[in-house]
Amino acid sequence: MFHSRAAVLAALFLLAVCTVARAEDVTLTSRDGSVEITGNLLGYDGEFYRVDTVYGVLTVDGSGVICDGPGCPDLTAFVAQFTFSGARTMGEVLLPLLVESFAARSGYAVERRLIDDTHFTYILTDEATGAKAAEIGFRVTSTAEGFADLLANEADLVLSTRPVLPQEAERAHDAGIGDLTDPRRSLILALDAMAVIVSPESQLTGLTLDQIARIFAGEIGNWSELGGPDAPIALHLRSRQSGIAQAFASALQDMAGLAPADSVIRHDSNGGLADAVASDPLAIGISPYSETGNARVLAVEGSCGMVSELDDLTLKTEDYPLPLPLFVYTPARRLPLLAREFLKFARSPAAQSVVARAGFVDLRLLKVPVAEQGLRLAGAIAEAGGEVTLDELQRMVTAMDGTERLTLSFRFEPGGTRLDAPSRSNVEILAEQIEAGAFDDRPLVFVGFSDGVGAAEANARLARRRAVAVRDAVLKAAPTADRSRLNVSVEAFGEAMPMACDEDAWGREINRRVEVWAAQR
């Protein structure tokens, strides 16, 4: 009995000691001794400490304090550690290639260690000293699993093929991760799209968004309803947890208030889905543009007859109605320096070359001369609103003469004044180019367009206000640009150049845009 009670008391004593050690395992003291912070060390990124104190979580510059206690890191052997989790579409090929390219350019030797089917780790070692610099973990499953791992503090960055869902953002806020809807919490690394695919044997060339929605909701169930054979339509989508399946389900809701039919065949991989559709003349599926395999991609048609083909250009300009930007989401906490350096590299021209080689659409800015915009001009003449005069069309053509259209457009979130996610990314891309001097002494025009709903004069005024707002946002994002060498102006042509049918809601959204024209060199 005595021995038993002694053992219990000893265990309680050790538990109390360990609890105290964990609760206050570091003390940070300013170098002059005037300030002292005690608490539980949550992390150290090579520069800053994150400490949970009685005052809340504090971030403290490591250069200004001395750390004492059992939780203090070894500053001479610091290894940056961070983990990506999320979409297989991004994690299997794109991010590994970017990590390897970053390592090669930064003087690190790189080793990939496979853990299991969904986990692997990159070890980065300084080639000059042989010291380990970083351990970068990956868990490659689905977008939904990535956000779940972030909420569980099992990941630092989320790989996502869709915007964060409202319920995910709410849970993240409640968990102290920050507002994931804040533009500063996400970064677009590349562009992809939801491609509507069929077998190469299919005679179908395009569908309207309404038809796509009704097909996948099961309301159109036989090919004969689309002018094909009398046979049932076989529907193929990714698993429900995948980002593209969730993005498409959301698009169905937005388009027609519909949900995918129960008869949909679900796939665990994009390649498996594309192969299944390509081999079945009666099948139709939704796959990433980057992974269509041997299947054929359909165009999206408008009710007025205008057609939106899926290609690199229509993705860069946001003229295709089913985009799939590839995001990295970050929490509202400081990441290790090497992680921040990697994210900065991922948007660089060198990294975007890697993006293109990986089969995705990169973010690099291209220019389309007027001579290559014949279809746009033909559409302007054929589909311009009835209030658009010949004089206005001639004024627009004259303004376009000698210019190039940059392959970025700016659009606003539905029903709001905030730029959508791709457009916010475009602000940064264009601002970086301006700061680098790419448009010094070269006229740059922000051109507003509208849909055809309402009076043409009012639409033109609204289009101009949007163009001014985008111009101001870009210039604000380029504080180091040489203003004396910039020649920036604003123009608006309202409903004079529609890119899609105004009869369709998605067409009106595409038509409401700001383009950027640059004088040809």
Residues 70 and 88 in one domain: no
Q: Is the pLDDT of residue 22 over 50?
A: no
Residues 378 and 468 in one domain: yes
Q: Has residue 226 been placed in a domain?
A: yes
Phi/psi-derived region of residue 259, left when phi > 0, alpha when psi is between -120 and 50, beta in every other case: beta
> Rounded to whole angstroms, how far apart are CA atoms 20 and 52?
14
Residues 371 and 511 in one domain: yes
pLDDT digits (tens, 9 = 90+) for 142-189: 999 999 999 999 999 999 999 999 999 999 999 989 999 988 899 999
What CATH number is attached to the domain comprising 102?
Answer: 3.40.190.10
Report which of residues 46 and 357 the model is more confident about: 357
* pLDDT for the residue numbered 284: 98
Residues 422 and 515 in one domain: yes
Q: Has residue 13 been placed in a domain?
A: no
> Rounded to whole angstroms, how far apart are CA atoms 120 and 429?
31
Amino acid at 323: P
Residues 459 and 435 in one domain: yes
Cα dihedral sign for 493, 497, 503, 506?
Answer: negative
- Which residues have CB under 8 Å from 415's CB, separation 6+? none
Say if pTM beats, i.e. exceeds, 0.75: yes
Q: Has residue 444 been placed in a domain?
A: yes
- Number of domains comprising the chain: 4
> Rounded to whole angstroms, how far apart are CA atoms 67 and 83?
26
* pLDDT for the residue numbered 394: 84
Give the start-end residues of each E strand in 127-203: 132-141, 157-160, 186-190, 194-198
Q: Has residue 5 been placed in a domain?
A: no
pLDDT band at 8 (very low <50, low <70, confident <90, very high): very low
Which residues form the domain of 238? 194-316
Report which of residues 20 and 84 the model is more confident about: 84
Residues 310 and 333 in one domain: no
Residues 214 and 93 in one domain: no
Residues 114 and 170 in one domain: yes
Residues 338 and 309 in one domain: no
What CATH number is attached to the domain comprising 435?
Answer: 3.30.1330.60
Residues 208 and 186 in one domain: no
Percent of the chain's residues with pLDDT above 70: 92
pLDDT digits (tens, 9 = 90+) for 469-493: 999 999 999 999 999 999 999 999 8
Residues 137 and 199 in one domain: no
Q: Has residue 162 been placed in a domain?
A: yes
Q: What's the mean pLDDT when you consider all of the chain?
A: 88
Q: Has residue 7 been placed in a domain?
A: no
> Rounded to whole angstroms, how far apart are CA atoms 406 and 517?
6
Q: Has residue 514 been placed in a domain?
A: yes
Q: Are 92 and 53 in contact (CB under 8 A)?
A: no
Residues 84 and 39 in one domain: no
Q: Has residue 265 been placed in a domain?
A: yes
Least-confidence region, from 61-75, 99-113, 339-353: 61-75
What CATH number is attached to the domain comprising 61?
Answer: 2.30.30.100
Q: Are 121 and 137 in contact (CB under 8 A)?
A: yes
pLDDT band at 384 (very low <50, low <70, confident <90, very high): low
